[in-house]
Structure 1
């Protein structure tokens, strides 16, 4: 196993017609989970990846389990519980520019995950742990499980990637912000966007370079600062700079950050330079937004290679 990730995946029901959900008569079912998106993206790139989670002993839980298995993600550390149902999310498209999301994940199956369920043997040969800021806020036991994974990753000299992936609906107190900042202090790669960095570190400036300098003065991790359609800044003691975003036709921005994380992780596994890793992340994010859905346009290695060659005109960028 090369990469481990931990998190909740929910069943998503999206109203087929625009307008208030109360009038909807049919729905499209899909699945949503930042960490499972990353796992699928990495699996598409032929990376051995394990997804740790807990699902309800129900039809939706088994559907998600089969879905992840079908994408060649290791699910040997996914548990089922009868204590609570699989998490659920409902989406309504009110108009072209407005989509409302309703979560039904409080006290979900994943919220009952416990650190004693984590199998240390999984960490012995793995190289990278990927976590997000969603997981530790779902329950106290989810936070403790996240910290146990971090402990084991450090014990076995794995690198830790942290994407804060902030969901404001999950944050109700300063204690929760403190938990996220605790994770920042444990990670090797910190990958916020500009707004997340401002929020977590109480930065008033909107200048990415000022934000990057502030982060670099407070944390030891390699910093990857995403600035939307403009591009990505990066900083480590050995290397720093900026990589412009690729200009593509955006269809659906959801899942772009997860694809970016997968590109970063993939390149890091293959000893890519920090600049080249950010380039891969930008490319993966760009490809993800070109189609509707979180995973529908995630590339294989060959597809990513062709995209980079076509966009950059450089046949060496993938090496």
Structure 2
């Protein structure tokens, strides 16, 4: 039985080895990155059984992604290897601390050709939670319909559906993004936007009103990430929690913070899908996000269960 299944694009990641701008770097290190697989890794390290479903080229970059995720105990039996379309690649320029510059090469990729006919019941029947993001619907002509079909089928099979808008304006125009994402909110049970994403979708207004408008669309729970200020959550009965942010002395790389939050949050949801503690989920989400931004990499420093509980670990 899987605790959580995630579906989305994972890319090969190339980053300068030396602390200098990308254009002047003669050598690059390779890794992987993708919102949904980041969440799968984070949950796996927290002791949850996770499955990642993606579409990869039948190429060395696809092999890299498969071997990396397998090494993190993520279940990969439903991954599709596409001989006709390549694995996506991106480059990260991180010679300065904070928000790095990122360059994507994903047009015509294997992930961009997902369509609703690809969705299978056996992706979900042994799982309890589905997590997806707003990146997938922006990738291709039919990937919005694909995302909708995944969420509808998962819900019909009794799964709790979690959705992070994860807005990437490099992938689509603002109006198209807004229309698509609003249509997907009604299909999820848990919605995990950042404050700027919530304001983009619903306008600038008090956070409780933002959360209430989201709840009215269908989700039973909303958690709004507030950056260093923490996180705010509301349930369908309009009960609310505000959890302050963790203190971070040195921010190195902010990419992956939202995925880390989702990992911590959903780890608590998975403990009791019907009656989980919203306050504890917000706390774990904050803690995971705070840890990730203190090092380099989208997922490499995601903590284990022992580490997030503050238990000293002598070996890995």
1:306 has 2:303 as partner: no
**Structure whose residues are more often helix by fraction:** 1
| Number of the residue aligned with 1:51 | 52
Q: TM-score normalised to the size of structure 1?
A: 0.89
| Number of the residue aligned with 2:122 | 121
Equivalent residues in 2 for 1:1-319 (5 A)? 1-17=2-18, 20-93=21-94, 95-96=96-97, 99-172=100-173, 174-201=175-202, 203-205=203-205, 207-238=206-237, 239-249=239-249, 250-271=251-272, 272-306=276-310
Measure the CA separation in 2 of the matches of 1:46 and 1:200.
Answer: 34
Alignment deviations for residues 7-29 of structure 1 (CA, whole Å, 9 cap, x no partner): 11111111234555333211121
Give structure 1 stretches of 5+ with no counterpart. Answer: 309-319
Cα pair 2:199 2:210 within 8 Å, conserved: yes
Measure the CA separation in 2 of the matches of 1:93 and 1:28.
Answer: 12
SS in 1 for 2:252: coil
Give structure 2 stretches of 5+ with no counterpart. Answer: none
Measure the CA separation in 1 of the matches of 2:138 and 2:99.
Answer: 26
Alignment deviations for residues 227-261 of structure 1 (CA, whole Å, 9 cap, x no partner): 10011111113431201111133332221111111
Cα pair 1:94 1:100 within 8 Å, conserved: no
SS in 1 for 2:242: strand
| Cα RMSD for the two superposed structures | 2.1
Measure the CA separation in 2 of the matches of 1:147 and 1:226.
Answer: 24
Larger RCO (alpha carbons 8 Å, 6+ apart) = 2
SS in 2 for 1:167: coil
Give the aligned length.
Answer: 306
Task: Return the offset for 1:152.
Answer: 1.5
Measure the CA separation in 2 of the matches of 1:220 and 1:270.
Answer: 19
Question: For structure 1, which segment, 242-251 or 90-99, has the greater mean C-alpha deviation from structure 2 after superposition?
Answer: 90-99
Measure the CA separation in 2 of the matches of 1:232 and 1:133.
Answer: 20
Alignment deviations for residues 87-119 of structure 1 (CA, whole Å, 9 cap, x no partner): 011223464466322110011111122333333
